[in-house]
A and B are shown apart, each in its own frame.
Chain A
Amino acid sequence: MKNKILPFLVIVIFGIIFFIFYKGLEDSKIYTPDVNTKKEIPVFNAKEFFSGENVKSPSIFDPDKVYLLNIWSSWCVPCRQEHPILMNLNLDDKLDIIGMNYKDNLKNAENFLKELGNPYKEIFIDLDGTIAIEWGAYGVPESFLIYNNEIIKKYIGPLNQQSTDEIFLLIK
Chain B
Amino acid sequence: MKLFIFFLFFILFFPLSILNAQENDKRNEITKNLRCLICQGQSVYDSDSEFANSLKIVVDKKLEEGLSEDQIYEYFKTKYGEWILYDPGLNKNTYILWLLPILIFLIGGAIIYKSFIVKK
Contacts and interface: CB of A to CB of B under 8 A. Distances in A.
A129 B51 CA distance: 7
Given A129-B53, A129-B54, A129-B57, A138 B37 contact: yes
B117 to A, nearest CB: 14
Nearest to B115: A6
B81 A33 contact: yes
Interface string A120-147: 0000000011101110101100000000
A20 B38 contact: no
Chain B: interface residue count, which band?
Answer: 20 to 34
A20 B51 contact: no
Q: Is the interface of B mostly helix, strand, loop or mixed?
A: helix
A31 B81 CA distance: 10
A37 to B, nearest CB: 10
A139 B54 contact: no
A115 to B, nearest CB: 23
Given A33-B80, A128-B54, A129-B50, A13 B107 contact: yes
B32 to A, nearest CB: 18
Contacts of A169: none
Contact of B79 (A9, A20, A129, A136): A136
Contact of B111 (A9, A34, A134): A9
Given A129-B53, A133-B79, 7 more contacts: A13-B104, A29-B40, A31-B80, A33-B81, A133-B54, A136-B80, A139-B38
